[in-house]
Amino acid sequence: MSARFMRFWSAALILAAVSLPAFSAGGSLLIKNGTLLTVTKGVIAKGDILVLDGLIKQIGPNIQAPPGVTVIDAAGKYVIPGIIDSHTHIALNGTNEGSEAITPEADVGAVVNADDTAILTALSGGVTMVHTMHGSANPIGGPNVVLKMKWGKPSEELVVNEALRTLKFALGENVKQSSRTILPGGPPPRYPQTRMGTNAIIRREMLKARVYMEEWDRYNKFKASKTPPKLLIPPRKDLRMEVLADLLRGKMVARCHDYQATEALEFMGLAKEFGFKIQALEHAWEAYKIADELAAAKIGISVFADSWAYKMEAAEGIAYDAGYCAKKGVLVSINSDSAERIRRLFNDAGKTMKFGGLNETEALSLVTFNPAIQLGVDKIVGSLEVGKQGDIAIFNEHPMSAYTRCDMTIIEGDVYFDRAQYLKEREEAAKQAQAPKKGGRP
Amino acid sequence: MRVRQWFYLLPVFLLVFAISWSAPADVGPTYAVRNAKIVPVTGPVIDKGTLIIRDGLIEAVGAADKVVIPEDAEVFEAEGLIAYPGLISAHTNLFLEEAAAPARPTGEAAPGPAELMAGAAAQPQSPQNADLIIFKNLKPRKSTLDGFLKAGFTTVLVAPNRGIFQGQSVIVNLNGEEPGPMVVKNSAALHLNFTTNRGGYPSSLMGTIAYIRQSFLDADHYATVQTFYAKNLKGMKRPGFDPFLEALIPYLKDRKPVVFQCNNYEEIKRALKIIEEFKLNAMLTHLNEAWRDSDVLKKAALPLLVTLDFRPPNGSKYVSQGEDLRKKAEAEIYPANAANLAKAGLKFALTTFGLNDAATALKNVQTAIKAGLPKEVALKALTIQPALFLGLAQQLGSLEPGKIANVILTKGELFEDKTQVDKVFVDGVLWKF
């Protein structure tokens, strides 16, 4: 195949993709005769799921399709709740506000990019929801955002407003390396350049946030009093401090990039001192060393399945991390942190069956129900239950099998990925590309 | 007695003075353009008409048999020519030459890429430009003027194309190379762009959005403190002076227009959020992805300055998927932008923003017309519509008595393939190419 042919072919395919969803069921469809892995309510060997207006209306055998509702035959296939990626950076215009160490004002929710084709990649792996995050260049990065993978919809329709508001923190080497000058004549070295500095700067900012909150409280108190002082000037509104104040008031939770157990414990100390909630530690390669402490503090982890030791601070990572911690009562999710791995999160979850001895449901939970809890959306997604949103993926084999593949991805009853349809479009595009072009040069 | 004689002579002196002040050079010429087809834009077309220009203004427009040609007028026989108001481009980056880099002591190494970037980014926030006034940076050049005038443009809005707070634009008539006499309106609008500050804060788009919001919050706070101080001069410590925040106040408090450059669809929505948050009197510019959502623009009901640049924005899905799709999008999708807006009933001006030369812009108007933009809408979008948006409808945008005499005479109708601009009058003076 010539390069020219390939180029046209891929362009035509994307043109077709641009006009997604492949077919819209208008938020209602009936999936028939699949093996339903509900995650929270066991396995139904041969069952149907009816989704009406985006919500799961009924689960059970022999459901009749209401008039006008599309029926999808899932005989011989596995039907699971849509996969949730608890930590990624897709669908954004920019990842890090790396110029300064403390940037909680830099909200990734402000730069959602619904045109990112990584959304398509995610869909092809059964992913329906992602927690897309600020990068790990800064001790305090910025607020993150939870998105549904509704390819073709405007960005604001992707945002899941029900999710917890989360703030990205980061410890360790990424922060240290980002603080070093790489280019000659580039920006000056940034503080902090050590782990102790990282802890200190987060503490310093929390203290500043406290002062900021007190300043506003004092002002509001004076303003509300019957005899406010004559020169009562409102304090400066500081977006950076506003976000930290929200964290300290419990309106947000922390998600902290961390590799080593020691820095995790230090960060947990900060959370205790200032009374903020750590929802999960990201990557947490040494979580197995502090599993009891994490379980006691109700702090989850969001980790890779394997691929440890790719850098010094990951040297003591082990493939048993996720499985072991899950068995110790830590809320574990497996994440992609990547626009490529995102399409095979089910494979990564499956690895915990070998390394850690989780059963099929426990393993599947790592990419469905557990991330839903971590994101505070377990009431609406994460499992196949009546009343939840119709976010569903259909696999040809058991999703924890090495031979499995995602055939269809559905969000709120709309089909956003249909492998058969894609293959057909791809074939047609290839045919078109091979046909002689009208008026083309010989 | 002597004193009284002098006293009587005083008016004579004053008269002499007055005459010497309004030196002959300051009185513009008088022209009569006779027997032209006249397209006033705001009124019906006159098939055979005469247009009188006197001292920079249009004195009369009408049917040839109704307008009396003044004795002192230089007459142009314009049979077969068409008169239009000079075109307006409501957003350009013309005449803003880069400031020369400071001389480097011999023997010192050439700047690395990071250093160059840092220098470029730091420039708009340098102390000299902190007040965001860009008039002082204008350097008009004959070749650029010629290019625009040949294409029929007589008025342009000039704003810098770097920095987040780019500056306060200046609207100029293309009447020469002296910046002063060119100005129609200075500090016309405050221009913002969703760009980053490489080598410094903010280095990301999300940082930029936070920076814009924080700047307006700071300007608001600054204004509050200044107001307090004005009422408590005695007994209150004097607050510091900040030229940047000072410059923002009229735009935040007095509803002077703020122009947001929306380089893609998402940026339209990002701009609208900020506009809503700070209740700004805003316009949107660039907008070559406006076609993706006319509903959101309809709801916003803001003046739209739409570029004639049809290149899909970087990072768009039409660019990231290979050259074939990009070319197709540039040839077929983006040229229909204006046509889509017109169909949706939205009012917009067309601009040359992002294009190097006016001839390309004019060719692109034809492409837009082929893609479904009605011709008369295109003409309005380059004349009266920008004049209305920029608050210049009393002075510019149509051929009416009393308005500034920016007039072009064309051989053939505007926006046709072979049409040529035959004569251009700017501020009532015939331009010599």
Residue of B nearest to A144 (CA): B206
Residues A224 and A232: beta-carbon distance below 8 Å? no
pLDDT at B86: 98
CA distance B204 to chain A (A): 5
Q: What is the mean pLDDT of the segment spanning A1-8?
A: 47
* Radius of gyration of the CA atoms of chain A, in A: 24
A296 inside domain: yes
- The token pair at B110 is 């050439």
Contact A8 B224 (CB under 8 A): no
DSSP one-letter code for B333: I
Residue of A nearest to B323 (CA): A7
pLDDT at B322: 85
Residue of A nearest to B122 (CA): A187
- The token pair at B305 is 């300055």
Q: H or E element: which one contains B55? A: none
- Torsion angle of the four alpha carbons B175, B255, B281, A157, in this order, in degrees rounded to the nearest 10: 150
CB atoms within 10 A of CB B12: 9
Domain count, chain A: 2
Quick one: which of A379, A377, A322, A387 has its CA closest to A355? A322
DSSP one-letter code for B26: G
Q: Which domains does chain B carry? A: 23-85+398-433 (2.30.40.10), 88-103+112-396 (3.20.20.140)
- The token pair at B19 is 């005459």
Better pLDDT: A104 or B121: A104
Say what angle helices B265-278 and B205-231 make with each other, to 10 degrees.
20
Arithmetic mean of pLDDT over chain A: 92
- By the 10 Å C-beta count (0-12 exposed, 13-18 middle, 19+ buried), B25 is classed as exposed
Closest CB from A11, A106, A240 relative to B324: A11
Contact B217 A18 (CB under 8 A): no
In the numeric block, the tokens 């008269």 are attached to: B15
Whether A272 and A371 share a structural domain:
yes
CA distance B54 to chain A (A): 53
Q: Is the dihedral of CA A132, A268, A163, A335 positive or negative?
A: positive
Q: What is the mean pLDDT of the segment spanning A96-108?
A: 96
pLDDT at A432: 83
Q: CA-to-CA distance for A368 and A370, rounded, in angstroms?
A: 6
Whether A425 and A405 share a structural domain:
yes
Q: Please report the DSSP string for B314-325 in residue order.
A: TTSTTTTT-HHH
CB atoms within 10 A of CB A60: 12
- The token pair at B300 is 């916003």
Q: Position B163: which residue type? A: G
Residues A381 and A80: beta-carbon distance below 8 Å? no
A114 inside domain: no
Q: Mark which of A362, A381, A400 sits at the end of a domain.
A: A381
Closest CB from B207, B224, B324 relative to A106: B207
Closest CB from B204, B236, B324 relative to A106: B204
Residues B381 and B307: beta-carbon distance below 8 Å? no
Closest CB from B210, B317, B323 relative to A105: B210
CA distance A198 to chain B (A): 20
pLDDT at A433: 78
Phi, psi (deg, nearest 5) at residue B177: -105, 5
Whether A232 and A329 share a structural domain:
yes
- The token pair at A318 is 């082990």
pLDDT at A284 over 90: yes
Buried b (16+ CB within 10 A) or exposed e, A297-336: eebbbbbbbbebeeeebbebbbbbbbbbbbbeebbbbbbb
Q: Mark which of A381, A412, A428 sits at the end of a domain.
A: A381
Residue of A nearest to B208 (CA): A106
Q: CA-to-CA distance for A330 and A78, rounded, in angstroms?
A: 27
Structure confidence by residue, pLDDT tens digits, A216-227: 999 999 999 999
A159 inside domain: yes
Strand partners, B193: B261
Quick one: which of B303, B288, B313, B286 has its CA closest to B368? B288
CA distance A405 to chain B (A): 25
Candidate from A81-85, A251-255, A413-417, B314-318 with smallest mean pLDDT: B314-318
Q: What is the CATH number of the domain that holds A188?
A: 3.20.20.140
**A-B contacts (CB, under 8 Å):** 132
CA angle at B61 for the pair B56 and B64, rounded to the nearest 5°: 130
CA angle at A188 for the pair A183 and A192, rounded to the nearest 5°: 110
Closest CB from B201, B293, B322 relative to A154: B293
Q: How far is CA A91 from CA A120, A299, B302, in A?
A: 10, 27, 28
Whether A270 and A175 share a structural domain:
yes
Residues A195 and A263: beta-carbon distance below 8 Å? yes
Contact B209 A110 (CB under 8 A): yes
Q: Mark which of A381, A412, A434 sits at the end of a domain.
A: A381
Quick one: which of A111, A110, A108, A130 has its CA closest to A120? A130
Contact A94 B113 (CB under 8 A): no
pLDDT at A8: 45
- Torsion angle of the four alpha carbons A108, A109, A110, A115, in this order, in degrees rounded to the nearest 10: 90
Phi, psi (deg, nearest 5) at residue A371: -60, -30
pLDDT at A94: 94
A158 inside domain: yes
Residue of A nearest to B271 (CA): A110
Residues B330 and B354: beta-carbon distance below 8 Å? no
- Pairing state between β B282-286 and B304-307: parallel
Q: What is the mean pLDDT of the segment spanning A197-206?
A: 98
Contact A156 B202 (CB under 8 A): no
Candidate from A104-118, A421-435, B29-43, B173-187 with smallest mean pLDDT: A421-435
Q: What is the CATH number of the domain that holds A74?
A: 2.30.40.10
Whether A245 and A302 share a structural domain:
yes
Whether A235 and A346 share a structural domain:
yes
In the numeric block, the tokens 């604001």 are attached to: A156
Q: What is the mean pLDDT of the segment spanning A150-163?
A: 96
Structure confidence by residue, pLDDT tens digits, B254-305: 999 999 999 999 999 999 999 999 999 999 999 999 999 999 999 999 999 9
Residues of A in contact with B203 (CB under 8 A): 96-99
Q: What percent of chain A has pLDDT over 70?
A: 91
Residues A295 and A330: beta-carbon distance below 8 Å? yes
Dump strand ranges (E) for A63-123: 70-73, 78-81, 83-88
Strand partners, B38: B46, B83
CA distance B356 to chain A (A): 27
Contact B206 A155 (CB under 8 A): no
CA distance A86 to chain B (A): 21
CA distance B228 to chain A (A): 8
Return the residue in A233, A239, A437 with the most chain B beta carbons within 10 A, the one to mutate for interface testing.
Answer: A233
pLDDT at B6: 54
Q: Position B168: which residue type? A: Q
Whether A130 and A167 share a structural domain:
yes
pLDDT at B101: 41
Q: CA-to-CA distance for A346 and A366, rounded, in angstroms?
A: 9
Per CB distance under 8 Å, which residues of B are interface residues toward A? 111-115, 118, 197, 199-207, 209-210, 213-214, 217-218, 221, 224-225, 228, 232, 235-236, 265-266, 269-270, 273, 293, 315-317, 320-325, 328
- The token pair at B408 is 């072009």
Whether A316 and A405 share a structural domain:
no
Residues of A in contact with B316 (CB under 8 A): 115
CB atoms within 10 A of CB B154: 26
Structure confidence by residue, pLDDT tens digits, A161-197: 999 999 999 999 999 988 876 666 666 788 999 999 9
Residue of A nearest to B207 (CA): A106
Domain of residue A44 covers 1-81+382-442
pLDDT at A21: 43
Residues A115 and B317: beta-carbon distance below 8 Å? yes
Say what angle helices B142-150 and B358-370 make with each other, to 10 degrees.
20
pLDDT at B11: 56
pLDDT at A16: 44
Q: What is the mean pLDDT of the segment spanning A380-390?
A: 97
A92 inside domain: no
pLDDT at B321: 80
Q: CA-to-CA distance for A34 and A77, rounded, in angstroms?
A: 5
Q: What is the ipTM of this complex?
A: 0.91
Whether A393 and A363 share a structural domain:
no
Residue of B nearest to A16 (CA): B325
In the numeric block, the tokens 């028939």 are attached to: A32
Q: In chain B, which stretches have pLDDT less than 70?
A: 1-25, 97-128
A95 inside domain: no
Contact B202 A106 (CB under 8 A): yes
Q: H or E element: which one contains B339? A: helix B337-343
Q: Is A343 helix (H, G, I), strand (E, B) or coil?
A: helix
Contact B266 A113 (CB under 8 A): yes
Residues of B in contact with A234 (CB under 8 A): 221, 224
Q: Position A181: which residue type? A: T
Contact B269 A154 (CB under 8 A): yes
Contact A106 B115 (CB under 8 A): no
Quick one: which of B310, B298, B247 has its CA closest to B268? B298
Contact A185 B114 (CB under 8 A): yes
pLDDT at A442 over 90: no
Name every residue whose Cβ is closer than 8 Å to that of residue B9 and which is 6 or more positions away in sequence. Answer: none
CB atoms within 10 A of CB B364: 20
Whether A198 and A248 share a structural domain:
yes
- Pairing state between β A78-81 and A392-395: antiparallel
Whether A250 and A193 share a structural domain:
yes
Q: Is B430 helix (H, G, I), strand (E, B) or coil?
A: strand
Better pLDDT: A64 or B7: A64
pLDDT at B347: 97
- The token pair at B362 is 């004019």
A248 inside domain: yes
pLDDT at B224: 96
Contact A98 B204 (CB under 8 A): yes
Q: How far is CA A348 from CA A59, A336, A353, A377, in A?
A: 28, 9, 10, 22
CA distance B326 to chain A (A): 9
pLDDT at A189: 81
pLDDT band at A373 (very low <50, low <70, confident <90, very high): very high
pLDDT at B8: 59
Q: How far is CA B81 from CA A331, B46, B51, in A?
A: 80, 12, 12
- By the 10 Å C-beta count (0-12 exposed, 13-18 middle, 19+ buried), B152 is classed as buried
| pTM across the whole model | 0.90
Return the residue in B198, B204, B263 with the most chain A beta carbons within 10 A, the one to mutate for interface testing.
Answer: B204
A99 inside domain: no
Contact A185 B118 (CB under 8 A): yes
Q: What is the mean pLDDT of the segment spanning A190-209?
A: 96
Contact A236 B218 (CB under 8 A): yes
DSSP one-letter code for B74: E
Whether A419 and A325 share a structural domain:
no
Q: CA-to-CA distance for A247 and B100, rounded, in angstroms?
A: 47
Q: CA-to-CA distance for A300 and A330, rounded, in angstroms?
A: 6
